[in-house]
Homo-oligomer: A and B are copies of this chain.
Amino acid sequence: MKRNATQEEIDGVAARIESMGLKAHVIPGALRTAIGITGNTGPVDPSTIEMMPGVREVIRVTKPYKLVSREMKHEDTVIRVGGATIGGGGLVVAAGPCAVESESQAFAVAEKVKAAGAHLFRGGAFKPRTSPYSFQGLGIEGLKILARIRDTFDLPVVTEAIDVESVGPVEQYADVIQVGARNMQNFSLLKRVGRSGRPVLLKRGMSATVEELLMSAEYILSEGNYQVILCERGVRTFSDHTRNTLDLSAVPAVKELTHLPILVDPSHGTGRRDKVLPMALAGIAAGADGLLVEVHTDPEKALSDGPQSLYPEQFAALMEGLGRLAQALERPLK
């Protein structure tokens, strides 16, 4: 739509699209509103829409992903959660323990990461574990702890929904719904979070291509939820000095192909505490919109992923380094 298109004009175009038996996706931006069309089985004749008032141009998206594509919407998508802003040039940091283990543990970590300048709190209540005999998370009790952390520290909360059933409680207690790497192609889950009003943090699968990541995001947008944050967290290769191989070139690739923001998770991406700081800075230098970082006050006793969790002092050092880097890159660390 044109910059000065009225709400009436926007509604008119959407109505016309729907009247053609197609689905209209009205995605507002800071400068202009984009309207995506899905549901067509072949090419759509642009002429009727092109002539409508307020329409700037009709673009045929050449990629297999449509709503997600930068062709469809040129402007960066900016997602606001509580006081935090994801995308649009600034930098944002979500930090916290791998799993919520108890109220005291979660609060201790939250206090530290808040003091160091984190913008969001992350922590798992439902944990997808390789072994059926491992700690599977506190479940609803964990979600309630997370909600109390948000209220106490004014930190919006990111937590994972591991299946369709857990989306409801996560929506109720948390601010951002995380879809984990193992679930990147759990299409039922993607459709479900696509019908949620909460932003979704979608992690790249362990052997997913960038195109597959974007196709999975398309599942979410195609259901009407346009607030999707992507996340690079390392892929699986032969390389054995880190647990996964953090593929930072995915960051500029994603930035070119889509309007959605992307975070980097150097904790899962390396699996080793001493590699988190350099790879966090590298991720930002590569152009990411922010970080997802694991912090624990007592990593040796963590119920999961201890070796990759930062000590609070290390996290504070990371935030300090990030501050200097943000200034050099002229990207506000909000």
Contact = CB atoms under 8 A, between A and B. Distances in A.
Interface of A: 38, 64-66, 128-133, 162-165, 182-183, 185-189, 191, 206-207, 209-212, 215, 218-219, 222, 235-242, 245-253, 256, 269-270, 274-275, 278-279, 281-287, 324-325, 327-329
Return the 10 tightest CB-CB contacts between A and B, nearest first: A328-B328, A207-B207, A163-B188, A285-B285, A282-B286, A281-B285, A282-B282, A182-B185, A241-B253, A207-B236
Contacts of A286: 278-279, 281-282
A248 B246 contact: yes
Contact of A278 (B132, B183, B211, B251): B251
Contact of A222 (B132, B209, B210, B240): B132
A239 B185 CA distance: 17
A282 B274 CA distance: 17
B239 A131 contact: no
A294 to B, nearest CB: 16
Contacts of A287: 278
How many of these chains are in the complex?
A: 4
Nearest to A221: B132
Contact of A245 (B164, B218, B237): B237
Given A248-B248, A325-B285, A328-B328, A238 B236 contact: yes
Contacts of A256: 274
A67 to B, nearest CB: 10
B239 A209 contact: yes
Contacts of A249: 241-242, 245-246, 269-270, 275, 278-279
A209 B270 contact: no
Given A130-B212, A274-B252, A285-B278, A237 B240 contact: no
Nearest to A181: B185
A219 B328 CA distance: 40
Contacts of A275: 249, 252-253
Contacts of A278: 249, 251-252, 285-287
Contacts of A182: 185-186
A35 B241 CA distance: 28
Nearest to A271: B249
6 contacts: A64-B131, A162-B188, A206-B207, A239-B247, A245-B249, A325-B328
B162 A163 contact: no
Contact of A252 (B189, B279, B327): B279
Most buried by B among A65, A182, A212, A324: A182
Contact of A185 (B130, B191, B240, B248): B130
